[in-house]
Structure 1
Amino acid sequence: MTHLLDDLPDLARRTPRAVALRWFGGRDGSRVREELTFGDLAERVERTAAGLRAQGLEPGDRVLFSIRPRPEGVVLCLAILRAGGAVVFVDPGSTPELFAARIAAARPRWAATEALLYAVSSGPLRGVARSRGLLLPDYGRLPVRHLYSGPWLPGVPRGARRVAGLGRGVALADGYDAAPAVDPDAVALVVFTSGTTSDPKAVVHTARTLGGMLGLFRQVGDLRPGQRAHTDQMFLGLPAVLAGGTWEIPARSPKDAPEAFARGVAGADSSFLVPADVTALLDVVEARADAGDGAAVGPAVLAVGAAPVTVALLERARRVLPGTRWLAVYGATEILPAAVTEAGEKIAAAAAGDLVGRPLDGIGVRVDTSVVDPQDQGAGDGGPAVGELVLTGPSLMAGYLADVDAGRPPVTEHRTGDLAHQDADGRIVLVGRNRDMIIRGTVNIYPGLFEPRLRDLPGVAEAVLVGVPVPDGDERVVLVVTAGAERASGEPTAGPPVRTDTPLTRAVADQVGRVLDHGALPDLVVEAAYLPLAGRSRKPDRRLLAEWVSPVTGDLTGSSTGGSTGRVRA
C-alpha cells in the first residue's frame, strides 16, 4: 500500500452499500446516531477534498486538527490527506507556552476545530474552563484559516468555514480517478510526543508510512470484510474500514462513559484500548457480574497498547472476560505497531522479563549490544545478550519534524530506548530502559537489568534504583525498597517519605552483594512506605524518588563501610 486511501475507492465500487462507519449517541450511548456506507464515505471524502482545494488548501499545507472521532471528523481527516495536506495533532490541554511552541514548530496554515473548543477557549466560557483547570489557548486568535465542526457557537472566528458545507455544490466527474495525484512521501501526519518549549519533539509520517501502519494493524486484529471494530482509536478503526469492515465509534470515550462502551463493545469482532480504558471496562463488567446482571460479554479480540501492558492487567482481563482473546501490542509513535503477543503467552513468560511478542511481518529487529557494558550482559550465566532495541519497517516515521523541515534525509531505523533481547523463538523481551541509565564514575548502570533480582530478596515488595546527581556531575546510586504492596502516587504518609535505618534496609544492605555485580552496588538502601507513580503508564516516578532520597544521601562517597544504617558494604 503506497497511499493511505488506495483501497477506499475500490471498496466503494465493490460494496457501496455496506456500512463503513457507525457512530453511536443518545443518552445512554446505545442509539445509532449516524451511518456512512462505503459509497457515502468515498464520495464525502472526495467532495470535501475538492472543497478544501477550492478554499485554497494546497499540497503541503498543515492543518491543526482538534476534532474527536466521529464521521464528520473522519471524513475531514481523510479529505485533508486526499487533498495533499498534512494533519497536525497537538494537545490543547498542554501549557499555553508549550502549545505556542508547538504551533510555531508546526507552522500550520489551517485549524480544524470543534465549535465547542472555540467557545470554551474564548469569551465567558473561557473562565469556566480555567476554573476547572483547563488552560486552553485562544483558538480563534490563531493566525490561520479556520474550519469548524458542529453547529456554530459564540467564539467561532469570523470567516471560519463549516466542515459539513465544504463539499456542497462540488461536481465530481469521475470520482477518485479524477483526483490530483498525491505524493506518497510528503508529510501527511505530525504528532507531538514530547520536548520542551525550546525544542518541541514531533513525529512525522507520510502517506506511505501511514499505509504501512494500517497494513500492520490488519495483522494484529486479523481484520476481514464484514467485521465490526468497536473503538474510539483510529489505530484500529481505519484499518478495519480499509479491510472492508465497519468501524463503530462510541458516543464518548471508554474512560468517560465506560458503561456505554461496555454495552457497545459486547459481541463486536475487535476493539483497541489503552490500558487505562481496559481498567474502566473491567470495573463495569465486574460490577454487573456482582449485581447478577447477566453473563460478561466482550469483543472476540481486544488489543491493548499505546502504553505498557502489565501482566497483572492481562490476568484480570482474562478472568473478567474469559471469552475474549486478549492481545498486547508493542510499538511507538515512531513505528507502530511492531510486535504483538497473546495474553497467556505474556503471562507465562513474566519471570524472564517483559515479553512484547513476535515482530509483525515486515518489521526488522536489531539488538544493539554496544550500549550495554559487557560485564552487565549476563553472558557468564549463559543468558542472551542485552542491548537497545532498534526497529525498521513499513510504518517507520520519516523523521522528527525539525529534521524533516531542515531537509535531512528520512530516517532508516528507530532506536526505541528499550533494553531488550530476543529469545530462541525470536520473541522480543524488554528488560529496561536505556534512558533510565545511571552513570557512576565510569560505570553505566541499567536499573532494569538489576531490579528484578532485588525484588526477589526476602521481605522486599518493590525495588527501584535511582541516581542522585552530585555537583561534580557524578551520581550516587540509591536503592529504594518497599515492604508492602505498592500504592498509588500521592497517598499521604506520616513522617519523611523515606527512612534509612529500618530492619528492612539493614537486611537488604547485607544481601545486595549476593545478587548484584560490584559495579552496580547501591551506595545506600532506603525504605519508602510506597512508590510514587507517574504518567499514563503508571511507572515508578524516578525523578520524584531522587528528590525524596537526596536529603538523606549526606556525604556518601561511592561505597561505604557499614550496613547498619542502610549503607552497603563494598
Structure 2
Amino acid sequence: MDALFIGATMLRRGLLNPGNPIRIVRQFAALGRWGFGLAGELRQAAARSPRRIAVIDDQREVTYAELVDRAERLAASLPAAPGERVGLLCRNSARMIEALIGVTTLGADPVLINTGLSPSQLASVAKDQGLRALIFDDEFAPRVALVEGVEKIGEERFEELITAAPRGSGTVPPERPGRTIVLTSGTTGVPKGARRPTPGGFRPLCSVIDRIPLRAQERVLIAAPLFHTWGFAGLQIALALRATVVLRRKFDPAAIVGDLIRHSCTGMIAVPVMVQQFLELPESTGKPPLRVVAVSGSALPGGLATRFMDRYGDVLYNLYGSTEASWASIATPADLRFAPNTAGKPPYGTKVAVLGDDGEPVPPGEVGRLFVGNEMLFEGYTNGASKTMHEGLLATGDLGHVDAAGRVYVDGREDDMIVSGGENVYPAEVEGLLADLPQVREVAVIGVPDDEYGQRLAAYLVLREAETLDPEAVREHVRHHRARFSVPRDVVFLAELPRNATGKVVTRDLPR
C-alpha cells in the first residue's frame, strides 16, 4: 500500500518525470549515500538539476551545484566537530541555507535560533544548547557580543571559511548525520530545543504533497522564517522537489507580492499573520500567479480563509502541527470553504485521536485532548524532557474535536482553558468570534485571575484604520452568541498585538 501511494503521489507531482538517465542514477545514488535529510535532498537535486537556480534572495541567485559547493567548503572549515552544536541566528537567505547544510554535512547539529530573541534569551539558549559556534547575520552582532563561550562567525568570517577550503571538500558523508534542533516558540519563557528526526524515505514528503499539491521544479517563495518549524519544513519540501526557492530577509507584504509576480512564483509557504497582511494591501498591488499558499504555525482567525480565497482564489492550505508533532492534519481549500475554522483531515500515515481524561476516545463533536501519531514525531527535547504519550500517540497540548466527516478542529490550548465560576471556557472560541467583527484587524483573548469567579476572560483588540468600537458592543456581540461566562469582562484596545518573529502572540506581554 505504501509503495503504491508513494509512487502515485510522486508521479502526480512530477517527481518521476523522465530525464537524463545518468543524472537520475546519480540523483538516487546521492539519496542512498546521504539519506533524506537536508544534505541528501540538496545533493539529489544538484545531481539531477545542477544548473537550475536553487535560491533567489535579496542579493544573489545560486544554482544547485553552487549551493552544494559552498556548503561543502563551509563544512570543511567550520570550527566545530561532528556531534557538536552550531547555532544559526540568520534571516531568510541563501547564506542561511548554506550554513544549515554545511553544518549537517560536517555531522554537527544546527540549532535554529529565533531572530526575535532578546540578548538574555540568546545567551540562555547558547548555554542550554552547549553551542560550539554561532553563525549570525551582522545585524545581530550587538546581541551576539553578550554571548560567551562560543566561536562567533559573522558574515565576513563566513565567506573567509568558504574561501579557505578547496572545491570538492566535504564530499564524504559523516558517520553520524547532523540532526537539526528547532527551538519552541518561547512565548511563555526560554525556548526549548526539540530534536527533529530525519525522514527515513519518501513517505513523509508524499504525505504532505498529496494534500498540498506543490510540484517538482516550481518556484516557491518561503515567507515563513527558516528557523521556524514550518519554514524549515517548507525548505525540506522545496529541495526534495528541486524547486527554486525565493527568499526575502524581512517580511513586507507589498514587497513579497512584488517578488511573487517578478519571479513567477506559483507556491508560497507562510504563517497566518502574513496572509492577513496580504488582505490589507490595495487591489492595485497586483495578483500573483499562485496555485498554492500553504500556511501553518497558528490558527486561522475568524473568516480569514474565506476572505483570502475570495480575493486570491481557492489556493489556501492550512497545516495544523507543531515543533514536536510535525503535522497532524491538513485543510484543503474545499475543507476551508466548508468550515473556515477547520484544521482539515490527517494526511496519509497520520492518526489523530481526541481523548477524554480517562484516555478513551470521545464522540464526534465532543471536545477532548488532541493526540497525533506519525513517523516524524520529535525525538525529545535537548534537556531530556519529553511530552505525554498514549499508546504511541503524542499529546499536542491542544484541545479539539472532530466532526462526523473526520475534519479536525482546534478549540484551544490545554493550558489556555480557564474555569470561570465552575464553567469551562475556551478563549480561542471567543477569539474567533471577535475576529469576525468587521472593525477588528486582530484579536487575542486570554484568561486572567478573578477574585469572585477564579478566572475571567480579557479581550485585546486591534481595530482597522479609521474604525471605532465600544467595549460594551464587544461584550454584547459575545453575549449574543455565547453563554454569559464567555463574555470578556476586560476589553482592551491596542495599537498592535505583541508578536514574536513567527507571528505568534506573546501573551505574557499583553497588559494586565
* TM-score (norm. length: structure 1): 0.67
The corresponding residue for 2:77 is: 51
Match of 2:463 among 463, 488, 497: 488
Amino acid at match of 1:207: T
Match of 1:334 among 324, 336, 343: 324
Amino acid at match of 2:485: P
Q: CA distance change for structure 1 residues 451 and 302 in 2, over 3 Å: closer, same or farther?
A: closer
Secondary structure of the structure 1 residue equivalent to 2:183: strand
Deviation of 1:213 after TM superposition, in Å, equals: 6.5
Deviation of 1:476 after TM superposition, in Å, equals: 2.9
Task: State the alpha-carbon separation in 2 of the partners of residues 418 and 108 from structure 1.
Answer: 31
Moved more, 81-90 or 308-317: 308-317
Task: State the alpha-carbon separation in 1 of the partners of residues 474 and 42 from structure 2.
Answer: 66
> Contact 1:384–1:422 (CA<8 Å) still a contact in 2?
yes
Task: State the alpha-carbon separation in 2 of the partners of residues 465 and 196 from structure 1.
Answer: 13
Secondary structure of the structure 2 residue equivalent to 1:109: strand
Deviation of 1:67 after TM superposition, in Å, equals: 2.1
* Greater RCO structure (CA 8 Å; 6+ sep): 2
Deviations 1:171-224 (A, max 9, x none): 638x74x333324xx642231422766x64332224348998656544454333
Task: State the alpha-carbon separation in 1 of the partners of residues 350 and 300 from structure 2.
Answer: 20
> Contact 1:72–1:163 (CA<8 Å) still a contact in 2?
no
> Contact 2:309–2:316 (CA<8 Å) still a contact in 1?
yes
> Contact 1:476–1:523 (CA<8 Å) still a contact in 2?
no
Deviation of 1:140 after TM superposition, in Å, equals: 6.9
Task: State the alpha-carbon separation in 1 of the partners of residues 116 and 474 from structure 2.
Answer: 45
The corresponding residue for 1:316 is: 307
Secondary structure of the structure 1 residue equivalent to 2:405: coil
Task: State the alpha-carbon separation in 2 of the partners of residues 41 and 508 from structure 1.
Answer: 53
Deviation of 1:358 after TM superposition, in Å, equals: 1.1
Report whether the alignment pairs 1:269 with 2:266: yes
Task: State the alpha-carbon separation in 2 of the partners of residues 530 and 115 from structure 1.
Answer: 36
Deviations 1:56-77 (A, max 9, x none): x212211121122222221121
The corresponding residue for 1:87 is: 110
Match of 2:83 among 27, 50, 60: 60
Deviations 1:51-110 (A, max 9, x none): 32xx4x212211121122222221121110111111123335433333322222111010
> Contact 1:301–1:327 (CA<8 Å) still a contact in 2?
yes
Q: CA distance change for structure 1 residues 96 and 45 in 2, over 3 Å: closer, same or farther?
A: closer
Amino acid at match of 2:173: A
Correspondences of 1:515-534 after superposition (within 5 Å): 522=485, 526=489, 528=491, 534=497
Report whether the alignment pairs 1:108 with 2:105: no
The corresponding residue for 1:21 is: 55
The corresponding residue for 1:139 is: 145
Deviations 1:391-425 (A, max 9, x none): 12222111122116x9x99x954322222122233
Deviation of 1:139 after TM superposition, in Å, equals: 2.8
Task: State the alpha-carbon separation in 2 of the partners of residues 196 and 504 from structure 1.
Answer: 27
Deviation of 1:368 after TM superposition, in Å, equals: 1.6
Report whether the alignment pairs 1:390 with 2:424: no
Report whether the alignment pairs 1:188 with 2:215: no
Moved more, 276-285 or 419-428: 276-285
Task: State the alpha-carbon separation in 1 of the partners of residues 487 and 69 from structure 2.
Answer: 66
> Contact 2:112–2:182 (CA<8 Å) still a contact in 1?
yes
Q: CA distance change for structure 1 residues 544 and 73 in 2, over 3 Å: closer, same or farther?
A: closer
Secondary structure of the structure 2 residue equivalent to 1:247: strand
Match of 1:476 among 454, 476, 488: 454
Secondary structure of the structure 2 residue equivalent to 1:430: strand
Report whether the alignment pairs 1:205 with 2:190: no
Correspondences of 1:30-429 after superposition (within 5 Å): 33-36=60-63, 38-52=64-78, 55=79, 57-118=80-141, 121=142, 137-139=143-145, 142-149=148-155, 152=156, 161-163=157-159, 165-166=161-162, 168-170=164-166, 172=168, 176=171, 178-183=172-177, 187-194=179-186, 200-208=191-199, 216-233=207-224, 234=226, 235=231, 236-250=234-248, 252-255=250-253, 257-258=255-256, 260-264=258-262, 267-284=264-281, 286-288=283-285, 296-322=287-313, 325-350=315-340, 354-370=341-357, 384-403=365-384, 413-429=393-409
Task: State the alpha-carbon separation in 2 of the partners of residues 262 and 229 from structure 1.
Answer: 9
> Contact 2:75–2:105 (CA<8 Å) still a contact in 1?
yes
Task: State the alpha-carbon separation in 2 of the partners of residues 238 and 454 from structure 1.
Answer: 35
Task: State the alpha-carbon separation in 1 of the partners of residues 374 and 488 from structure 2.
Answer: 43
Amino acid at match of 1:401: T
> Contact 2:187–2:507 (CA<8 Å) still a contact in 1?
no
> Contact 1:477–1:522 (CA<8 Å) still a contact in 2?
no
Q: CA distance change for structure 1 residues 264 and 24 in 2, over 3 Å: closer, same or farther?
A: farther
Amino acid at match of 2:277: A
Deviation of 1:356 after TM superposition, in Å, equals: 0.4
Secondary structure of the structure 1 residue equivalent to 2:39: coil
Report whether the alignment pairs 1:3 with 2:30: no
Q: State the identity as a percent.
A: 21
> Contact 1:262–1:285 (CA<8 Å) still a contact in 2?
no
> Contact 2:182–2:195 (CA<8 Å) still a contact in 1?
yes
Task: State the alpha-carbon separation in 1 of the partners of residues 150 and 316 from structure 2.
Answer: 44
Amino acid at match of 1:35: V
Amino acid at match of 1:447: Y
Deviation of 1:284 after TM superposition, in Å, equals: 3.6
Task: State the alpha-carbon separation in 2 of the partners of residues 453 and 98 from structure 1.
Answer: 31
Deviation of 1:454 after TM superposition, in Å, equals: 9.3
Task: Give unpaired runs (5+ residues) of structure 1.
Answer: 26-32, 122-136, 153-160, 290-295, 456-460, 548-570
Secondary structure of the structure 1 residue equivalent to 2:303: helix
> Contact 2:221–2:265 (CA<8 Å) still a contact in 1?
yes
Task: State the alpha-carbon separation in 2 of the partners of residues 491 and 539 from structure 1.
Answer: 23
> Contact 1:390–1:416 (CA<8 Å) still a contact in 2?
yes
Task: State the alpha-carbon separation in 2 of the partners of residues 338 and 238 from structure 1.
Answer: 18
Q: CA distance change for structure 1 residues 62 and 78 in 2, over 3 Å: closer, same or farther?
A: same
> Contact 1:228–1:270 (CA<8 Å) still a contact in 2?
yes
Deviation of 1:526 after TM superposition, in Å, equals: 4.2
Larger radius of gyration: 1
Task: State the alpha-carbon separation in 2 of the partners of residues 209 and 437 from structure 1.
Answer: 37
Deviation of 1:492 after TM superposition, in Å, equals: 12
Q: CA distance change for structure 1 residues 388 and 533 in 2, over 3 Å: closer, same or farther?
A: farther
Q: CA distance change for structure 1 residues 447 and 5 in 2, over 3 Å: closer, same or farther?
A: same
Task: State the alpha-carbon separation in 1 of the partners of residues 201 and 322 from structure 2.
Answer: 13
> Contact 1:213–1:337 (CA<8 Å) still a contact in 2?
no
Amino acid at match of 1:143: G
> Contact 1:203–1:333 (CA<8 Å) still a contact in 2?
yes
Report whether the alignment pairs 1:12 with 2:49: no
Q: CA distance change for structure 1 residues 401 and 532 in 2, over 3 Å: closer, same or farther?
A: farther
Q: CA distance change for structure 1 residues 364 and 539 in 2, over 3 Å: closer, same or farther?
A: same
Task: Give unpaired runs (5+ residues) of structure 2.
Answer: 1-34, 435-439
Task: State the alpha-carbon separation in 1 of the partners of residues 123 and 308 from structure 2.
Answer: 40
